[in-house]
A and B are shown apart, each in its own frame.
Chain A
């Protein structure tokens, strides 16, 4: 049985990066560490330009995740769907690797007869329900995102509603870029509940550059420092939660 946890970065943006490292390369770096990068492009009436679109797809592709371009109104539904889809994708990947070990090199779920596939799917479903999930949310707060932020907040609260209905544990962290002083700013440390976002989001200032690449890099290091902190605390979840709230 797969007992690890699933780690994801969810990037919410509305355009192209213009500062620092190539975000596509940073996404590839994330994938190397077993963290998938999902991207949601938020449109208003305007359409995201070709360049932004290519970048969004590129990040998700090299980050082993899912990408989706949506209008702001559909954001809530999309955020939870993309997260769930990416999670299932990761689990399927793991199950596929296990199957290959059992059945031989070239076998995947698709090579099984439909009857057998059903049983595998039940395992995938079960894992999706119980696996521990860590989602780091990266929100683009460049000037053009300003009036979309309330929608983003709603979507994130909705996400926590969806994921907290699972039996498995969830951990969320929220970063925004550009931050007040640095390229990236942590606005919510790892916590199982996103509700505390409500007050923080209204105080956010927008503006300036879009350093998507550096944002992903910082997000990665947050995952790493988290796991080392975890190992220090010898699995004492309670006190960790209290600290982060």
Chain B
């Protein structure tokens, strides 16, 4: 696209360039380019022997906007989803003033690469982590918005999922600022572009689908039917179909609901013995004590209920037959006497 081209030429700096802040006079030495998005270029830079990520944009307002988001991320207790903000400043280059900010350098492969390398057994773990972090974000009134595998980095040594691009983060209730079509529920005709937790959960479900279709696919008919068909064609997705479809249809109101169901589904699968089934469900739900999900336990209780109902139906028939027979005998007896 044109814009990327012009952006690149404006903020393009060669490795070795020293960037000095106009306000705080910190000096950063550019090491290499890490990537570029719609709003600017991110470089790896050196600052006093530590490595930092430095984002530059000719659009100063988009830098300011992202800094605002990162600042409010810092206030979210215990959340490590986004990078931490280090410095905000302007650089007087010979081509004019360019705004930039520096943040913690999050190193590692992106989500899809990681799963490809380390195996599918990691998939659920990472999604559980992601849902937990998203929940914290949502509880603080934000929605991530532009959630996609390219923005998700798995850092080590203990694998932990992190987000690197916060440009799409939007206050709940407002219109989503930035999105990518494949992960956008509006694009698939499955909802609005108003920022609510369900918007992010839809994107999470699409990323799950994406793990089985690394090259994504195009919209044909759109809607839930096309996506459901895509899920059914993949063995790995079929196992968590229930959770994906519910997220796609916006049945979850918060990330914890989705997390609990995903967890119980995975635990179920690893215990094929039906006797253990109910005990596993109960233990997993006691872990999530504060937010027990009714829908998780629903299938088992409903079954029990039905079984009970069946039993009582038999008893009913039995009692009625007996009592009618008894009455009949009494009647016969009376007539005979």
- Complex: how many Å from CA A160 to CA B195? 16
Residues of A within 8 A of B (CB): 68-70, 74, 76-78, 81, 84, 88, 92, 109-110, 113-115, 117-118, 120-122, 124-125, 129, 158, 161-167
Q: Which of A74, A120, A124 contacts B1 (CB 8 A)?
A: A74
**Do B71 and A118 have beta carbons less than 8 Å apart?**
yes
B316 within 8 A of A: no
Which partner residue on chain B sits nearest A67 by CB separation?
A: B2
**Do B174 and A118 have beta carbons less than 8 Å apart?**
no
Q: How many pairs of A and B residues are in contact by the CB < 8 Å rule?
A: 73
Which partner residue on chain B sits nearest A163 by CB separation?
A: B175
5 A-B pairs in the complex with CB atoms less than 8 angstroms apart: A69-B1, A110-B99, A114-B89, A165-B193, A166-B174
Q: Which of B64, B71, B97, B192 contacts A165 (CB 8 A)?
A: B192
Main secondary structure of the interface of A (DSSP, over half): helix
In the complex, which residues of chain A have a beta carbon less than 8 angstroms from the beta carbon of B64? 109, 114, 117-118, 120-121
**Do B60 and A129 have beta carbons less than 8 Å apart?**
no
- Complex: how many Å from CA A84 to CA B175? 11
Whether A129 contacts B68 in the complex (CB less than 8 A), given A114-B23, A164-B192, comes out as no
- Complex: how many Å from CA A158 to CA B61? 25
Whether A68 contacts B176 in the complex (CB less than 8 A), given A110-B60, A114-B88, A161-B192, comes out as no
Among all A-B residue pairs, the 7 with the closest Cβ atoms: A165-B175, A165-B193, A114-B88, A121-B64, A166-B175, A165-B194, A161-B186
Shortest CB-to-CB span from A43 to chain B, Å, is 11
Within 8 A of A (CB), among B1-23: 1-3, 23
| Residue interface mask B92-126, A partner, CB < 8 A = 1 | 00000101000000000000000000000000000
In the complex, which residues of chain B have a beta carbon less than 8 angstroms from the beta carbon of A129? 174-175
**Do B60 and A109 have beta carbons less than 8 Å apart?**
yes
- Complex: how many Å from CA A158 to CA B67? 29
**Do A118 and B67 have beta carbons less than 8 Å apart?**
yes
Which partner residue on chain B sits nearest A166 by CB separation?
A: B175
Q: Which of B2, B38, B90, B175 contacts A114 (CB 8 A)?
A: B90
Shortest CB-to-CB span from A120 to chain B, Å, is 8
